[in-house]
């Protein structure tokens, strides 16, 4: 399934989060196909290989704006739900956070949270970039969307990976847990040296729905995870599920965001 099919199937304007996440193979066949590929391919071996490939941040230096402009090549006129560019969507999310009076670093999270999707432009398949995330190397929660598709995952036949904690210790903390590979971990690693801890959690776990929406995997979380996930939940109310029709005035707001980016980030970051 290509990017446009995935976006078209997932993002519907005017829906609540609960309606949006009411998945079934019959009503959302493209989403079901996406997760069929995702659940079959996200193995411990795959995740470890991708972490080794990308987390050394050796793909060159880019500014935040260069990364956003690079990501803009993912936007296609065939997207039926919005004609916003990626930069406009990021600004739309950040502006909603800004209007509600949150701290400046919180606004910045809205601006950068999807920049890890440049992985698609490095040649990664969409199922390894977007979608809900979940731990690998331990039993899959039934709170993961389409859990039946894990039957095709080779890790289902590894007994060590099918216990409650698997390769992890109880309450070891999520920093010691490998989640399925995607854009969250990548943008977290690119930006983590420059942002406060709540922002790091928002970026790293905003797609970890089984945990922050359904309360799964608390047996792996420590006290700091529990505390920081309150911030993750705050951020998710501003994420893609509440796409609006209003187009941000890029020229009007860009000076504010240029100052904001310069406050926290160097001119060039390692990617």
**Per-residue pLDDT averaged across 94-100, rounded?**
95
Position 21 pLDDT exceeds 60:
no
CB 243 within 8 A of CB 269: no
Q: What is the pLDDT of residue 13?
A: 41
CB 104 within 8 A of CB 263: yes
Q: Distance between terminal CA atoms of the chain?
A: 26
Dihedral pair phi/psi, residue 109, rounded to 5°: -55, -45
Dihedral pair phi/psi, residue 58, rounded to 5°: -115, 25
Confidence of residue 108 (pLDDT cuts 50, 70, 90): very high
For residue 44, give the nearest of 52, 54, 32, 55 by alpha carbon. 52
Which of 3-12, 22-31, 154-163 has the least mean pLDDT? 3-12
pLDDT, averaged across the chain? 87
Dihedral pair phi/psi, residue 135, rounded to 5°: -65, 145
Position 122 pLDDT exceeds 50:
yes
Q: What is the pTM of this model?
A: 0.87
Tell me how far apart the alpha carbons of residues 66 and 72 are, in angstroms, rounded to a whole number.
10
- H runs (alpha helix) in the chain: 3-10, 17-20, 29-41, 44-54, 64-71, 86-99, 104-112, 183-191, 197-205, 209-212, 223-236, 250-264
**Per-residue pLDDT averaged across 161-182, rounded?**
98
Which of 14-18, 96-100, 246-250 has the least mean pLDDT? 14-18
């Amino acid at each position: 399934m290509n990017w446009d099919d995935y976006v078209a199937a997932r993002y519907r304007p005017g829906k609540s989060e609960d309606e949006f996440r009411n998945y079934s193979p019959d009503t959302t066949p493209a989403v079901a196909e996406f997760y069929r590929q995702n659940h079959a391919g996200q193995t411990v071996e795959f995740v470890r290989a991708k972490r080794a490939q990308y987390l050394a941040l050796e793909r060159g230096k880019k500014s935040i704006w260069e990364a956003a402009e690079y990501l803009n090549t993912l936007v296609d006129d065939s997207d039926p739900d919005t004609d916003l560019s990626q930069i406009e969507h990021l600004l739309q999310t950040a502006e909603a956070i800004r209007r509600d009076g949150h701290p400046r670093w919180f606004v910045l999270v809205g601006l950068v949270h999807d920049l890890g999707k440049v992985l698609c432009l490095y040649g990664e398949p969409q199922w390894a970039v977007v979608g809900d995330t979940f731990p690998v190397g331990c039993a899959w929660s039934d709170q993961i969307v389409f859990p039946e598709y894990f039957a095709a995952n080779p890790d289902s036949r590894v007994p060590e990976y099918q216990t409650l904690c698997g390769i992890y210790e109880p309450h070891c903390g999520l920093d010691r847990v490998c989640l399925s590979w995607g854009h969250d971990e990548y943008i977290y690693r690119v930006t983590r040296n420059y942002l406060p801890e709540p922002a790091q959690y928002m970026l790293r776990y905003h797609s970890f729905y089984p945990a922050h929406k359904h309360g799964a995997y608390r047996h792996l979380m420590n006290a700091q995870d529990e505390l920081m996930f309150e911030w993750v939940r705050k951020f998710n109310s501003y994420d893609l599920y509440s796409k609006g029709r209003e187009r941000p005035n890029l020229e009007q707001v860009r000076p504010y965001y240029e100052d904001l980016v310069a406050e926290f980030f160097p001119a060039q970051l390692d990617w």
